[in-house]
């Protein structure tokens, strides 16, 4: 009778037959702990931004904002139905051209409104409210914070700050120029929304 060799078929010891037990595989668990948010900078360490740097950030933001919105607007005009019409040149002369139909104009107006609203909520509400600044502000080394504690504005206050900019702009941009003689260097919309634009 031939002796049975437990190692002949497996090439090694078998668990339960005098062999070494196989080590259990440990599953790697993903770290479910949320990332800690960046703590706000102490109020005493914040430095308010100057007029020219803020102006540069506004110009950059308008340039960055206008490119995608303008592209979407042009794309919509190309695909919407048109009809023969008359267009006018800068010198007052007219020429035959294709113009949007009345129905297309209504669709185009609604499309443009939706694009602008989405862009504003994403560009200002999220980037400025949650991330601390729009691309123009980041490129110029600025960020927007709450005046009381230096924390991010939040989407609600960022949107409110956007609409109060119209108040700063209406009387000959007096609300913007106000920061030149304001003791803290703030505009009207900064004051109304209790916000500050500071150096990052």
User: What pLDDT sits at residue 60?
Assistant: 95
How far is residue 78's CA from residue 61's CA, in Å, rounded to a whole number?
26
User: What pLDDT sits at residue 120?
Assistant: 82
User: What pLDDT sits at residue 197?
Assistant: 96
Q: Count CB neighbours of 152 within 10 A.
A: 20
CA distances 166 to 51, 105, 128, 154, 188, Å, are 18, 27, 17, 20, 10
User: What pLDDT sits at residue 26?
Assistant: 56
How far is residue 129's CA from residue 155's CA, in Å, rounded to a whole number?
4
Instruction: For residue 195, give the DSSP letter.
Output: E
User: What pLDDT sits at residue 39?
Assistant: 56
Q: Which pTM does this prediction carry?
A: 0.67
Domain extents for the chain?
45-79+111-199
The structure tokens listed for 69 are: 């919105």
pLDDT per residue rounded down to tens, the chain (200 residues): 555 555 555 555 554 555 555 555 555 555 555 555 555 566 667 899 999 999 999 999 989 888 888 888 888 888 888 888 888 888 888 888 877 787 888 888 888 888 888 888 888 889 999 999 999 999 999 999 999 999 999 999 999 999 999 999 988 999 999 999 999 999 999 999 999 999 98
């Amino acid at each position: 009778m031939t002796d049975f060799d437990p190692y002949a078929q497996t090439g090694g010891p078998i668990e339960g037959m005098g062999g070494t037990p196989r080590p259990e595989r440990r599953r790697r668990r993903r770290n479910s702990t949320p990332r800690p948010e960046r703590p706000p900078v102490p109020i005493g360490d914040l430095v308010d931004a100057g007029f020219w740097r803020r102006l540069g950030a506004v110009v950059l933001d308008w340039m960055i904002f206008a490119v995608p919105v303008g592209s979407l607007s042009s794309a919509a005009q190309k695909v919407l139905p048109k009809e023969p019409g008359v267009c006018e040149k800068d010198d007052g002369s007219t020429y035959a051209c294709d113009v949007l139909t009345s129905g297309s104009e209504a669709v185009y107006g609604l499309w443009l409104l939706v694009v602008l609203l989405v862009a504003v909520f994403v560009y200002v509400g999220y980037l400025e409210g949650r991330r601390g600044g729009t691309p123009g502000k980041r490129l110029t080394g600025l960020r927007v914070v709450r005046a009381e504690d230096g924390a991010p504005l939040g989407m609600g206050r960022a949107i409110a700050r956007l609409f109060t900019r119209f108040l700063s702009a209406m009387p000959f941009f007096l609300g913007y120029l106000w920061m030149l003689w304001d003791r803290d260097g703030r505009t009207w919309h900064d004051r109304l929304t209790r916000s500050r634009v500071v150096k990052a």
